[in-house]
Every structure is written in structure tokens, then in C-alpha cells.
Chains A and B, each alone.
Chain A
């Protein structure tokens, strides 16, 4: 099944990989499909940058939320808060995109037009992947042996020192693999960036510039692309898949190597 999917994608990409000089995907100046220019570097860079912004925001906040649920929150709040995070996790990405487009874009537009931008895409994506980070880190904290907490409490170590110096390091492998999973999700996400990133093909020069990511490019141009153009869209799909797969494999490797997995 997986082999079939990858095979179909590679067959789709073949005309571009074989006839076109494959280095041209990087060296071509930009993405002008009608003139035979298929430089994907700007879009690849945009994809990666959006992902980095999202994870830089989501990782600390997400882990803090997990600590909140696991150690700080009173029992009654804990359950309700967990439900809220689950609700956020179930939020369809197209709904998040809609919210970004109708609520956040006008807001940023007032400050720095056009509003649809690299930064905004990162922020909305951050909201999308935050529950992933929180839920995986929460699972990591829960799977730690309770003796760890009891022993440190018995030594008279205060709670924040306990959490920062003992519990987080003990759970770090699982947390990191969760963060990697969230990064993979952010990189593969289409709808949010399609709706709020602005979709202008250019090298991102500032946080408030509109950009177009690889996923959004596929979604926008697949409908009318033909021949080499179509094939190069398949190439970008292939690049995305490989990137995501590498991250997933690293994540599962880290997870299987650690003690408390």
C-alpha cells in the first residue's frame, strides 16, 4: 500500500525528474511554470520557515500546558482543561484557516498590510500543532515512574526544581519525539498555510511578507497543471513526503531508544 502510493507519486514525478535537469529545481531562479522555470527553493524555504516559527511557539507553550495538566492544575480543572485541549486537537484545519483569514488577517492588516504573511501562518499553525505537543508530552510525564517524584519530594526538593531538573530530563526523549511529530504535521499541513500565508512565490525577506509553501503550491496549481508542470508538482510532493518520513523515523528511533518510552 505504502509502496503503491510512493510508486504512483514517483511515476507522476518521473517526466520531470528524467527530462528536466533535476538540479534545476534548486538552481532555477524562481517558479515560472509557463516559462519552464521550476525553482522550488523559495517555496521549500517558506515551508521550513513556517514550520520553524510554528514549532518555536508551540513547543514551549505546549510543554508548559502538559506540565500544567500533569502537576500544577487542581484535580477539577485538570479534566476540563484536558477536554479543551482535546477539542483544540480535533479542530479541522480548514476551520482554523477560516478563523485566521476572517479574524487575524484584518487585525494584522491594520498594522502592516497585506496581513496574510509568514508570521501569521506560523501562528495559526502553532495553534494547530500545540495539542499534539501537549498530549505527547503529557503521555511522557504520565509514563514516568512515580517513585521519581516521591524520591525528589522526600529529598525536600521544591516542585519547580523537581520539574525542571528531574522530570523534564527524564521525559525528554518522548517529548522530543512528540515535538518532531508536531513538526512533521506542520510541514505537511496545507489548508492553514493556503488560507493565511498569502501565496506569493518569493524568497521570504521579512516576517510580515506573504509567502507560498510547497503544500499550498500543489493545492493551488494541481487543478490546471499539465505535463512537465504537473510532474514537477509531483516532485514537490515527493520532497515533502521524504522530509516528513525522515522526521517520523527520527522520532520513532528516539522513542524506542529511551527507557521510559
Chain B
């Protein structure tokens, strides 16, 4: 009897969560779907976003992400290589850096927003611009990205390193031609998750990349990201709910595709590691 009750309770909890998820998606589809069309994607917002589409918003979002990636990718890879290949695991500085990264990963995004506003926008004089928004996001996603890359590099089979060393390859070449390609699936999975987090982010962008919904002319212009657009439409524009939900659907689709990519790549990578193990 108790066994049955226990099982029933667990099933109930599981179903409850599933129902909430369906309710959520259904609530968005309810109003958003009618608004959604090809036209919506490729026309400029009008009447504060109530009418028209989200083309300029999408462009601004992509530009912000491009800035984020341009900064985060080289910086993140370099730090991960340093942590994984050029320092001992229990090195004093490496441990401090790792702790700092883990702590940074937990800092609330609004605090990153404050930091970006004070440092990039005011101190470095970039103002409300796509550039400062992108840089702020780069700071935000770097910790998680570095740690995933580091783990990816560490899980590369040690015999590959020894082989490269036996052939007399300089360490830096071994990293570039052998270890990084071998860790590529982990790196791309980490990167895609980071992009997903950056795309979903709102609070960090509100004071760094700004609210202007015109088509951005350069990275120094202010541009409104998709998530900020949703927030603005639902809170500050009366009658903007339908457009907000349509934008939310687009955002959700982008993030779902990114997540599925990340999972597929991780699966692939895990499969490869098993193969590597058998080869030995």
C-alpha cells in the first residue's frame, strides 16, 4: 500500500511539471501564433512594436551575439588551454583562477549589467551600444565556457599528448593541431550553451545595449535585443502582448535549436570517448 502511494506521489509530481510546461507553451501559442508570419520576421517594428515585425531587433541581437563570440571565443580558449595544459592541476594560481571562475558563474546577471554599465558604457565611454552589451555578455558567459573547454581538453586521452611529444612536436603545436581538434565537440557544446544563455539574457542588456529599436548602423549604435524587446512590449507598451508572445516564440525556437545542437554534439563526443577507450 505504502509502495503504491509513494509511486503515485512521484507520478503526480512528474505529471504536474509536465502540465505546467504544456500550459506555458500553450499560453504563448495562444496569442503569439496568430501574429507570427514571415512578414513579422522581416519588417521593422512600428508603433512602439505593437505592429510591424522584429527585423531590426533580430539584427541587433545577432550583432550583440557576434561581439560576444568574437571576444569570448579566443579569450575562453586561451584560458582553458592555460588551465588544462600549461599548469599543474593543483597549482596555486590555477586553483585560485578556477575558484574565481566558479564564483563568477554564480554572480547574478543584473550585477553584470551594473558592471557593464559602469565599466564599458561610462568608464570606457562606449555609451549605450551594441559593443558594450556584447562585451558585458562575454564577461557573463566566459566562466562557464572556460570550464567546459577545460574539462573537454582534460578528457582528451593522454596517449595523444605523449605521441605528440614523442614525435618532437612543440607543445603549442600539439595543442593547436591535436588537442584542440580532439576537444572540439566539448568546446562547441560549451559555446552553444553559452550562446543560448546570452540569447536569453535580458537584465544584463537593459543598461548596456539600450532600448532603441531602429535598425542599428554600426556596433556603436544602441540596439534592442530580442529579450529586451519582449520585456519592453509586455511591461511598457499597452496592447503589445501579442507581439511580445510572438517574439517570445521566436526566442524560444532559437534557444531550443541551440540546446538540441548542444545535446547532439555532447552525445557525439561521449560516443567518441568510449571509442577512444576501446582503442587502448
CB distance from B255 to the nearest CB of A (A): 5
- Chain A, interface SS category: helix
Selected contact of B230 from candidates A98, A130, A187, A252, CB within 8 Å: A98
The answer to whether B24 and A99 have CB atoms under 8 Å apart is: yes
The answer to whether A90 and B255 have CB atoms under 8 Å apart is: yes
Given contacts A1-B104, A92-B251, A102-B31, contact A233 B114 (CB under 8 A): yes
CB distance from A97 to the nearest CB of B (A): 7
Selected contact of A73 from candidates B14, B103, B119, CB within 8 Å: B14
User: B residues touching A (Cβ–Cβ < 8 Å)?
Assistant: 2-3, 6-7, 9-11, 13-14, 16-18, 20-21, 23-24, 27-28, 31, 100-104, 106-115, 117-119, 123, 139, 142, 196, 199-203, 206-207, 227, 230-231, 234-235, 241, 244-245, 248, 251-252, 255-256, 259, 263
User: A residues touching B (Cβ–Cβ < 8 Å)?
Assistant: 1-5, 8-9, 11-12, 60-61, 64-65, 67-68, 72-73, 81, 84-88, 90-99, 101-103, 127, 130, 158-160, 163-164, 181, 184-185, 187-191, 194-195, 215, 218-219, 222-223, 233-234, 237, 240-241, 244-245, 247-249, 252
Given contacts A86-B263, A241-B107, contact A101 B234 (CB under 8 A): yes
The answer to whether B13 and A248 have CB atoms under 8 Å apart is: no
The answer to whether A86 and B259 have CB atoms under 8 Å apart is: yes
- Chain B, interface SS category: helix
The 5 A-B pairs with the shortest beta carbon distances in the complex, nearest first, are A188-B108, A92-B200, A160-B6, A64-B13, A190-B203
Q: Pull 18 A–B residue pairs with CB atoms less than 8 Å apart, ordered by A.
A: A2-B100, A3-B100, A61-B13, A81-B18, A87-B256, A90-B196, A90-B259, A91-B200, A94-B230, A97-B231, A98-B234, A188-B111, A190-B202, A191-B202, A222-B207, A244-B106, A245-B103, A245-B107
The answer to whether A218 and B241 have CB atoms under 8 Å apart is: no
Assembled-state Cα–Cα distance A85/B20 (Å): 11
B residues in contact with A3, CB < 8 Å: 100
B residues in contact with A164, CB < 8 Å: 6
Q: Known pairs A68-B11, A91-B24, A101-B234. 14 more at Cβ < 8 A?
A: A12-B118, A81-B14, A84-B18, A87-B256, A88-B17, A90-B200, A92-B202, A94-B251, A97-B231, A99-B28, A102-B245, A159-B3, A188-B108, A247-B106
Closest to A101 in B: B234
Assembled-state Cα–Cα distance A180/B28 (Å): 30
The answer to whether B199 and A68 have CB atoms under 8 Å apart is: no
CB distance from A25 to the nearest CB of B (A): 17
Closest to B231 in A: A94
Given contacts A1-B100, A218-B110, contact A64 B235 (CB under 8 A): no
Given contacts A2-B100, A72-B11, A99-B28, contact A237 B231 (CB under 8 A): no
